[in-house]
Amino acid sequence: MEALIKILEELHPDVDFRNEKALIDDKILDSFDIISLITEINEEYGVRIPVDEIVPENFNSAEAIYKLIQKLQDEE
């Protein structure tokens, strides 16, 4: 989780990623950020987030993103 928060903070240093729950709905992360994030996650955790998982529910909070990573790790 800490590594993920670090990745997110590098994208937007001014956002409180531990508490923010509407990263997509409040338009904090845009499509450029999503792609950077997916590439970084691939590097850090070795999982490929497939395109059908790019839905707001999976990216609205750091917690949701982390859950997605764990789910994908389990499936591998």
Partner 1 sequence: MLFTSYNFILFLIAVFALYYIIPGKYQWILLLAASFVFYSFSGWDNVAYITVTIIVTYLGAVRIGKLYRQQEEWLKENREKLSREEKKAFRERIKSRQKKCLVFCLLFDLGILAVLKYTNFVISNINSTARLFNAGEISFLDIALPLGISFYTFQAVGYLVDVYRGKYPPEENLGKFALFVSFFPQLVQGPISRFDDLGKQLYEGHDFDAKNVSLGIQRILWGFFKKLVIADRIMPVVRTITQDPDTYQGVFVLVGMVFYAVQLYADFTGGIDITIGIAEVLGIRLKENFERPFFSKSTAEYWRRWHITMGTWFRDYVFYPVSISNAMMKISKFSREKFGEKTGKKVPVYLSTVIVWFATGIWHGASWNFVVWGLLNCLVIIVSQELEPFYAWFHNRFNVRGKFLFKLFQVGRTFLLMSAIRILDVYRNVPVTFRMYASVFTKWNLKELFGGALLELGLSRADYFVLLFGIIIMITVSLVQRTGSVREKMYARHEAIRYAAYAGLFIAIIVFGAYGIGYDSNQFIYNQF
Output DSSP code: residue 13: T
Q: How far apart are CA 73 and CA 14, in angstroms?
A: 29
Closer CB to partner 1, residue 5 or residue 11? 11
Q: Which of 24, 72, 67, 23 is nearest to 49 (CA)?
A: 72
49 is an interface residue for partner 1 by CB under 8 A: yes
18 is an interface residue for partner 1 by CB under 8 A: no
Question: Which of 54, 63, 66, 72 is in the footprint of partner 1 by CB under 8 A?
Answer: 54
Q: How far apart are CA 42 and CA 25, in angstroms?
A: 24
Residue range at the interface with partner 1 (CB under 8 A); choices 1-9, 16-24, 25-33, 65-73: 25-33
Place of tokens 């999982």: 47
Question: Which of 3, 22, 25, 39 is in the footprint of partner 1 by CB under 8 A?
Answer: 39
